[in-house]
Amino acid sequence: MKHFIIVLLLGTSLSGFAQNSSEVKRTYAIRTNLLSAIYNTLNISYQKLKTNGNSVVIGASYMDFNDFNESSNNSYVNNNYTTVVGVAITSEYRLHFTGEGFQGGYVGGFGRAMFYERIAGYQNSISTSSQMPIEILDVKEKFNFGSVGVGFVVGYQFAIQNRVTFDFFGGPVFQALVYQDKITRNATTGARLESRKINELANNIPDRYISGYGLRGGITLGILF
């Protein structure tokens, strides 16, 4: 993420030597959402300004989230690790109602598709009473999810010296879980086990991220060209 921001700023500086940016009409932008780093996610989006003053945004995100030694509400479960890997693709149409070009307020409707794989490993102590554990199992979980959603955002975008774009937005989203495959096995024998009723992705990622009503927000930084 830090390297990507450095490249954006470097590219902006170099473009200033080639031409006077105030004389050029910018119609494209490449941006990254700074808030994506919360879930260890890299986000890149492409924005095109249309002739009618509105714009189209296509974005893609790649998550590689690790939650080691996450807590559990079950006193007989000791979690060791959880890894979540996946991609999300977003398509958005923005209606710009103030300002000119990339500068100004807007409202946008979007659709989003997400595909994630969750792998977790932990030890599970099984007992017949609350005092005496009788067996400790090494368990491995592999969950796959597919989710689609729609929503809208309201935001404001800045065009700084016609070279850099800074944008913040937020709004509601509804995600529907259209596919899920949960496999839980004994890591030693390979035998199938009953899957736990837990947060779908990780304890630190709410279920509403892939299923139900939630919020989508962002603070983006990018270059205009």
Instruction: Give the three-state DSSP class for 34.
Output: helix
pLDDT higher for 188 or 173?
173
Is it the case that residue 73 has pLDDT exceeding 50? no
pLDDT band at 57, cuts 50/70/90? very high
Query: Is the separation of the CB atoms in 65 and 205 below 8 Å?
Result: yes
In whole angstroms, give the CA distance from residue 116 to residue 217: 20
Choose among 139, 141, 143: nearest CA to 189: 139
Name the domain count of the chain: 1
Q: What are phi and psi of 43, to 5 degrees?
A: -125, 135
Handedness of CA 6, 7, 12, 18 (dihedral sign): positive
Is it the case that residue 175 has pLDDT exceeding 90? yes
Residue 130's pLDDT is 61
Residue 18's pLDDT is 42
Structure tokens, 75: 């006193």
CATH assignment at residue 21 = 2.40.160
Average pLDDT rounded to a whole number, residues 65-86: 68
* Paired residues of 167 in beta bridges: 157, 220
Query: Is the separation of the CB atoms in 175 and 136 below 8 Å?
Result: no
Average pLDDT rounded to a whole number, residues 20-39: 86
Task: Answer yes or no: pTM beyond 0.75.
Answer: yes
Q: What are phi and psi of 35, to 5 degrees?
A: -75, -15
Choose among 60, 107, 66: nearest CA to 87: 60
Query: Is the separation of the CB atoms in 57 and 43 below 8 Å?
Result: no
Structure tokens, 116: 């994630």
Q: Domain limits at 162?
A: 2-224
